[in-house]
Chain A
Amino acid sequence: MTPHFGLPEFGFLLRGLQWTVLLTLVAFAGGCTAGLAVALLRTCGHRGVEWITRIYIGIFQGTPLLLQLFVVYYGLALTGLKLDAFVAVAIGFTVNASAFLGEIWRGAIQAVPRGQTEAAMALGLHYSSRMRDIVLPQAIRISLPATIGYLVQLIKGTSLAAIVGFIELARAGQIVSNQTFQPLLVFGVVGAMYFILCWPLSWWGSRMEARLALASQR
Chain B
Amino acid sequence: MGYTLDFSVVWQAMPALLWGCVGTLGLALAGMTLAMIIGVAGVAARDSKAAWLRALVIGFVEVVRNTPFLVQIFFLFFALPLIGLKLNPTATAIIALGVNGGAYAIEIIRGGVQSVHKGQVEAGYALGLHKGQVFRFIVLKPALRAIYPSLTGQFIMLTLTSSICSAVSAYELTSVAQRIESDTFRSFEVYFSVTFLYLAISWLLMLGFAVISHRFFSYPTR
Q: Chain A: residues with CB nearer than 8 A to chain B?
A: 59, 61-68, 70-71, 74-75, 77-78, 80, 152, 156-157, 159-160, 162-163, 170, 173-174, 177, 183-184, 187-188, 190-191, 194-195, 198-199, 202
B188-206 vs A: 1/0 string, CB under 8 Å?
1001101110110011001
| A181 CB, min distance to chain B CBs, angstroms | 10
Number of interface residues of B (CB under 8 A): 38
Query: Of B37-45, B61-69, B86-94, which stretch is located at the interface?
Result: B61-69
Q: Out of A80, A160, A183, name the residue touching B70 (CB < 8 Å).
A: A160
Task: Enumerate chain B residues within 8 angstroms of A71, measured Cβ to Cβ.
Answer: 188, 191-192, 195
Q: For chain A, what secondary structure do more than half of its interface residues adopt (helix, strand, loop), or is it mixed?
A: helix
Q: Out of A74, A152, A177, name the residue touching B187 (CB < 8 Å).
A: A74
Q: Are A194 and B66 in contact (CB under 8 A)?
A: yes
Would A66 and B75 be within 8 Å (CB), given that A75-B188, A170-B70, A194-B67 are in contact? no
- Nearest A residue to B63, CB-CB: A195
Task: Enumerate chain B residues within 8 angstroms of A199, measured Cβ to Cβ.
Answer: 62, 66
**Complex Cα spacing A75 to B192, Å:** 9
Would A64 and B67 be within 8 Å (CB), given that A71-B195, A74-B187, A173-B74 are in contact? no
Task: Enumerate chain B residues within 8 angstroms of A187, measured Cβ to Cβ.
Answer: 71, 74-75, 78
Knowing that A66-B163, A78-B3, A156-B67 are A-B contacts, what are 8 other residue pairs whose CB atoms are under 8 Å apart, sorted by A's residue number? A62-B198, A62-B199, A71-B192, A163-B70, A163-B164, A173-B71, A184-B79, A202-B66
Task: Enumerate chain B residues within 8 angstroms of A70, measured Cβ to Cβ.
Answer: 187, 191, 195
Task: Enumerate chain B residues within 8 angstroms of A173, measured Cβ to Cβ.
Answer: 71, 74
| A177 CB, min distance to chain B CBs, angstroms | 8
Q: Are A156 and B74 in contact (CB under 8 A)?
A: no
Q: Are A183 and B199 in contact (CB under 8 A)?
A: no
Q: Out of B3, B82, B191, name the residue touching A67 (CB < 8 Å).
A: B191
Task: Enumerate chain A residues within 8 angstroms of B198, measured Cβ to Cβ.
Answer: 62-64, 67
| A60 CB, min distance to chain B CBs, angstroms | 10
- Nearest A residue to B66, CB-CB: A198
User: Which chain B residues numbered 1 to 57 have a C-beta less than 8 Å away from chain A?
Assistant: 1, 3
| B220 CB, min distance to chain A CBs, angstroms | 25
Q: How many A-B residue pairs have CB under 8 A?
A: 112
| A16 CB, min distance to chain B CBs, angstroms | 12
| B15 CB, min distance to chain A CBs, angstroms | 20
- Nearest B residue to A156, CB-CB: B68
| B41 CB, min distance to chain A CBs, angstroms | 23
Selected A-B contacts with CB under 8 Å, 14 pairs: A62-B156, A62-B206, A64-B160, A64-B164, A70-B191, A71-B188, A71-B192, A75-B188, A157-B68, A159-B70, A170-B71, A173-B71, A183-B77, A187-B71
Task: Enumerate chain A residues within 8 angstroms of B154, measured Cβ to Cβ.
Answer: none
**Complex Cα spacing A202 to B61, Å:** 12
- Nearest B residue to A69, CB-CB: B191
**Complex Cα spacing A190 to B74, Å:** 11
Q: Are A160 and B164 in contact (CB under 8 A)?
A: yes
Q: Are A174 and B74 in contact (CB under 8 A)?
A: yes
Task: Enumerate chain B residues within 8 angstroms of A156, measured Cβ to Cβ.
Answer: 66-69
- Nearest B residue to A161, CB-CB: B70
User: Which chain B residues numbered 70 to 122 have a C-beta less than 8 Å away from chain A?
Assistant: 70-72, 74-75, 77-79, 82
- Nearest B residue to A203, CB-CB: B62
Q: Are A64 and B163 in contact (CB under 8 A)?
A: yes
